[in-house]
Amino acid sequence: QVKEMNAVLNRETGIRQLYESVRRYAAGKKGIVYAVSIAHARQIAAYYSLHGVESVAIDSRTPALERKELVEDFRRGKISVLVNVDIFSEGFDCPDVEFVQLARPTLSLAKYLQQVGRGLRKSDNKESCVLIDNVGLHRIFGLPVRDRDWEAMFEGRMAGNAQPRTRMENNGLSVS
């Protein structure tokens, strides 16, 4: 499945579209990008850096000490964009993240909310977080700030008859 997604998403035209989205909606902002594979993450970071957006790819192969240093550089503003594959989905707290770019599909509501949640932390220096959803996850799961009937969702899953309850409430990209 990852190979198939990588074959579709890790192409120059797709990566250029990702970059154009950042340039259009989040130019000069600090952000996190979620990629489909290590190769995809590295290609995105290289393309963004080549076009003036200081970016690094961090993945499971990045040595722990190097990862720590890169994250500190990101926190200090030396790096504008962290591109990753499931490294910063949970347990990563950097409240001044100003945009989250989804460049990989998922069928997991929990993963979607965790990834988007990296940018929804409150910070004195930001008013909102830009969500750049290049893979249409908002169409599947709705906006991350919408109310959800968690009880009904879990009851449906347990009974084996869960139905998607998604409707578009807003086409905007900015979530406050």
Write out the DSSP string of 60-79: TTS-HHHHHHHHHHHHHTS-
- Which pTM value belongs to this model? 0.80
Task: Give the C-alpha separation, 14 to 94, whole Å.
Answer: 27
pLDDT for res 10: 63
End-to-end CA distance of the chain: 34
- What is the distance between the alpha carbons of residues 43 and 6, in angstroms, rounded to a whole number? 11
Please tell me the predicted confidence (pLDDT) of residue 150.
61
Per-residue pLDDT of the chain (176 residues; tens, 9 = 90+): 666 665 666 678 899 999 999 999 999 999 999 999 999 999 999 999 999 999 999 999 999 999 999 999 999 999 999 999 988 766 677 878 899 999 999 888 888 888 888 888 888 888 888 999 999 998 888 887 777 666 766 665 544 444 444 333 344 444 43
Q: What is the pLDDT of residue 164?
A: 46
Under CATH, which number does the domain 2-175 receive? 3.40.50.300
Task: Yes or no: say if 174 and 128 are a contact pair by the CB < 8 Å rule.
Answer: yes
- The residues, ordered by sequence, that sit 6+ positions from 176 with a Cβ below 8 Å of its Cβ are 127, 128, 129
- The Cα–Cα gap between 115 and 109 comes to 10
- Residue 27 DSSP code: T
> Tell me, what's the pLDDT at 147?
73
- The whole-number pLDDT of residue 158 equals 44
